[in-house]
Amino acid sequence: MINKLSIIVPVYNTEKYLGKCLDSLVNQSLQEIEIIIVNDGSTDKSGDICKNYQREFPDKIIYFEQPNKGVAAARNLAIENVSTPYLTFLDSDDEVCPEIYLKCLENIEKKNLDLIGFEYEEIIELSNGNVSRFISHYSDKLSNLNSLNSADVNHLVSFAVWNKIYKTSIFRDNNITFFDIKAGEDTYTNQLFFCYVNSFEFINLIGIKYYRRDDSLSKICHTPNIIALKKLGIKLLIEELNKRDLFIIHKKYFFVMLFADCFISTYPSHFNHKTEKVNYYKELFILFKHTFGFNFDDYKVLLPLKFRFMLKLFELQWFGLVIFITDVILKSKAINYFKKKQLI
């Protein structure tokens, strides 16, 4: 049997959830898979759990250990050892639906796709023990797109790598790796990969159960230090794009991506004090001006209407009003959702 798909699973101190994650992989309907686990210096029992699964499923599981270097380094090590034409990623505290990889590979092989994406169920476990659920709905919005280098993509597509399957040769032939940063590496790698995609599809099937918990990396990284990580990630991405002569070609596309990443994905409601919020936007302002120049008019038309007004206020450096609007647009949606679900 020749394997078709590699699933890359970085592991770091997730012993509470790791068993369910690996069970969801070894029980996939698609049999032609290899599961590449990289234990990134775990200090709990995660390593023992991985080794037990490898002993039980030696034909499916490939296991590596490394000192703690971060998820980017773990993914890069795994990519070097992929032996299949397609690859995907999974966080070690999430789960995969049993049919998703089989259905995706059927589409990939039938249409010779470079990339396929699918929907996900986001499960938010609150500290009081309550749970809320959210189903993504972006595949229908993307059905008419002709290019992933369209400015429309970046307010429609999830930045995550775990709900997409990638052609391995694009990683290899174009020397694409994850940047060595502590957060946001998914976003920047996806943007680079999208530049080389010719054929893609997003299907209306739920494939991942994505958990958000108080101890998850996505929660921990929403601190005032996030701006330093954003600046580093953007710097590395722009440098890489310029090396490849890709930035100028797709400049408007990357503006929308960075706007979505900095204003929507990491919005200042996560911060504890107004001073932290203002400082966040001040540093973003400098970053955007340095990267894109002093006139944002060419980019406004690419944004949804509600965000064009926010961009104008940002351009005028009216950061207090930007914060208020951002909180109303984004935070109120979450509040209303939780009230509807009777969680608060």
For residue range 210-241, list pLDDT tens digits in order: 988 765 544 444 455 777 787 888 889 999 99
Q: What radius of gyration do the chain's Cα atoms show? A: 20
Contacts of 36 (CB under 8 A, 6+ apart): 6, 7, 8, 9, 62, 64, 78, 81, 82
Inter-residue contact 268 to 280 (CB < 8 Å): yes
Q: Measuring CA to CA, which residue among 41, 39, 6, 42 is closest to residue 25?
A: 6
Domains, in order of start, for the chain: 5-218 (3.90.550.10), 222-340 (no CATH)
Residues pairing with 202 in the sheet = 117
What pLDDT is recorded for position 272?
62
Inter-residue contact 101 to 117 (CB < 8 Å): no
* pTM (two decimals): 0.86
What pLDDT is recorded for position 281?
82
Q: What is the pLDDT along the chain (344 residues), one digit of tens a residue?
A: 799 999 999 999 999 999 999 999 999 999 999 999 999 999 999 999 999 999 999 999 999 999 999 999 999 999 999 999 999 999 999 999 999 999 999 999 999 999 999 999 988 877 667 778 888 776 666 666 666 766 556 555 677 899 999 999 999 999 999 998 877 788 889 989 999 999 999 999 999 999 887 655 444 444 557 777 878 888 899 999 999 999 988 888 888 877 777 776 555 555 666 777 788 888 888 888 888 886 788 888 877 776 788 788 888 999 888 877 776 665 554 444 333 433 33
What pLDDT is recorded for position 336?
46
Give the angle subtended at the CA of 264 by the CAs of 136 and 200, to the nearest 5°: 50
What pLDDT is recorded for position 216?
53
What pLDDT is recorded for position 305?
74
